[in-house]
Amino acid sequence: MAGNSFGDLFRISTFGESHGKAIGVILDGCPPNIAIDEDFIQSELDKRKPGQSKITTQRKESDTAQILSGVFEGKSTGTPIAILIPNEDQRSKDYSHIKDIFRPSHADYTYHMKYGHRDYRGGGRSSARETAARVAAGAIAKSFLKQHGIEIFAHVSGVGKIESPNLDTKDLEALLDLRESNIARCADPATANEMIEFIDAVRKSGDTVGGRISTIIRNVPVGLGEPVFDKLHADLAKAMMSINAVHGFEYGSGFAGSELLGSQHNDLFVSEEHDIHRTKTHTNFSGGIQGGISNGMDITFKTAFKPVATIMRDQQTIDSNGNEATVQGKGRHDPCVVSRAVIIVEAMAALVIADHLLKQSSYKNVR
């Protein structure tokens, strides 16, 4: 209710502030007997961690995950899996100058007004550092989904006005290799180079820039998603919009689809299979979801991230008494978040699918 949990049956609750002792997560509802691979969790965290490259923040955090419970002899037990990620490289004094000043377009003002009392160091709870906890839990969700053959692939499809061309998505593993071959995490190498150059220039000018991430989820069984309010795409939307800096979400044809005619947009069934369990459609404007429920086609969606609010330039603002003030551009921040956010998007997508897989299973097998 207080906003720090996500999911119903496969449910995470995160805790921790950017400059506190640690951040972490409890994953409750993970089925028993799932192999938990700590190396895989760590490799996922490494893709999100700060200090990876010249186009990310230089804060250094090893982001080492410690599993405290719920795993015995390498497998989940069905009890809560608690994961702790200690904070290491806080430089809290970097933030003493904003103790009484509200940074523009940050959560400083709204947290101050909501709670009256806030941990201002590094953004406290509003910091995107919290998403490391999501990535750790998302890695377990991915392991669970892998047993069901479900694949998730996200990449940076846009930075500023730079846009990746459409990808050939037949082989998601090959695309993953392409994505990981560059620090922008765009699966189109030429576009990736363009993005890196642009972000680096933006960074040097003390500025930041927004971007977009495109995601595909493959091999989702038909039938996931609850009708009416908990439509699969509605839960995906909430999951994505809950990631720091996200300002937009669309699935399938998205905003562009709203310009089309029904005769252009309808996904006609392929009638060759003669097996309704393996039905396909010629097009996929529906993005793999019809009436809120997966139809077995690829689930596709796109997420838009605003530019990071902290820029390395002085800005006019107000202080906690409402008086004019100047906030200085200090600290270590990302010029563009999308290359790190790719793994957060995948984690949240995995958590949504895992939750709906359990929901579907709850009555699928009791008739």
The phi, psi pair for 366, rounded to 5°, reads: -110, -10
Q: Is 244 annotated as a binding residue?
A: yes
What mask of x and - would describe binding to a second copy in positions 212 to 251, judged by CB under 8 A? Answer: x---------xx-xxxxxxx-xxx-xx-xxx----xxxxx
Q: Is 309 annotated as a binding residue?
A: yes
Residues 81-100 that bind a second copy (CB under 8 A): 81-82, 84
Residue (21 or 91) nearer to a second copy, CB:
21
Contact call for residue 346 and a second copy (CB under 8 A): no
- Quick one: DSSP state of residue 285? T
- Please state, in angstroms and rounded to a whole number, the distance separating the CA atoms of residues 96 and 121: 7
- Please state, in angstroms and rounded to a whole number, the distance separating the CA atoms of residues 307 and 335: 8
Q: What is the dihedral angle through the alpha carbons of 114, 119, 124, 125, rounded to the nearest 10 degrees?
A: -40
Min CB(349)–a second copy separation in Å? 14
Contact call for residue 51 and a second copy (CB under 8 A): no
3-state SS of 115-173 is HCCCCCHHHHHHCHHHHHHHHHHHHHHHHHHHCCCCEEEEEEEEECCEECCCCCCCCHH
Q: Is 190 annotated as a binding residue?
A: no
Question: Is residue 77 exposed (0-12), middle (13-18) or buried (19+ Cβ within 10 Å)?
Answer: middle
- Please state, in angstroms and rounded to a whole number, the distance separating the CA atoms of residues 353 and 261: 30
Residue (168 or 316) nearer to a second copy, CB:
316
Contact call for residue 208 and a second copy (CB under 8 A): yes
Min CB(30)–a second copy separation in Å? 8
Contact call for residue 262 and a second copy (CB under 8 A): yes
Contact call for residue 48 and a second copy (CB under 8 A): no
* One of 97, 106, 146, 218 touching a second copy (CB under 8 A): 106
Cβ neighbours of residue 43 closer than 8 Å, sequence gap 6 or more: none
Contact call for residue 189 and a second copy (CB under 8 A): no
Residue (59 or 359) nearer to a second copy, CB:
359
3-state SS of 307-338 is CCCCCCCCEEEEECCCCEEEECCCCCCCCCCH
Contact call for residue 183 and a second copy (CB under 8 A): no
- Please state, in angstroms and rounded to a whole number, the distance separating the CA atoms of residues 8 and 80: 14
Residue (169 or 279) nearer to a second copy, CB:
279
Which tokens belong to 150? 């479900």
Min CB(177)–a second copy separation in Å? 26
Residues 271-330 that bind a second copy (CB under 8 A): 271, 273-277, 279, 281, 285-287, 289-295, 304-311, 313, 315-318, 320-325
* One of 43, 92, 110, 181 touching a second copy (CB under 8 A): 110
Contact call for residue 268 and a second copy (CB under 8 A): yes
Indicate the annotated binding residues. Answer: 48, 54, 125-127, 244-245, 291, 306-310, 332
